[in-house]
Homo-oligomer: A and B are copies of this chain.
Amino acid sequence: MLQSQTYLVNGRFEGALTPFDRGFAYGDGVFRTLVVQFGAPHCWLHHYRKLEEDCNALSIVCPAQETLRGDIASLVHETDDHVQAIIKIIITRGESARGYALPPLAQPTRIVAKIPMPQYPEANFDQGITLHLCQTRLARQPKLAGVKHLNRLENVLARMEWVDPHIADGLMLDEGGDVIECISGNVFARFGDQLTTPDLSKCGVAGVTRARIMGLAPILGYDLEVRNLRLSELMDADEVIVCNSLYGAWQVRHLANHTWQPGVLAAKLRERLRQDDTVSA
Q: What is the CA–CA distance of A239 and B100 in the complex, to the nearest angstrom? A: 26
Q: Which residue of chain B has its CB nearest to the CB of A92? A: B24
What bracket does the count of chain A residues touching chain B fall in?
A: 35 or more
How many Å lie between the Cα of A139 and that of B2 in the bound state? 36
Counting every copy of the chain, the complex holds: 2
Most B-side CB within 10 Å, residue of A14, A149, A157, A159: A157
Confirm or deny: A265 has a beta carbon within 8 angstroms of a beta carbon on chain B. Answer: no
Whether B143 pairs with A140 at a CB distance below 8 angstroms is: no
The answer to whether A124 has its CB under 8 Å from any CB of chain B is no
Q: Please state if A98 and B102 are interface contacts (CB–CB under 8 Å).
A: no
A70 at the interface (CB under 8 A from B): no
Q: Is there a chain B Cβ closer than 8 Å to A171's Cβ?
A: no
Q: Are A98 and B111 in contact (CB under 8 A)?
A: no
Of B31, B153, B184, the residue contacting A151 (CB under 8 A) is B153
Q: Nearest 3 pairs between A and B by C-beta?
A: A27-B27, A139-B139, A151-B151
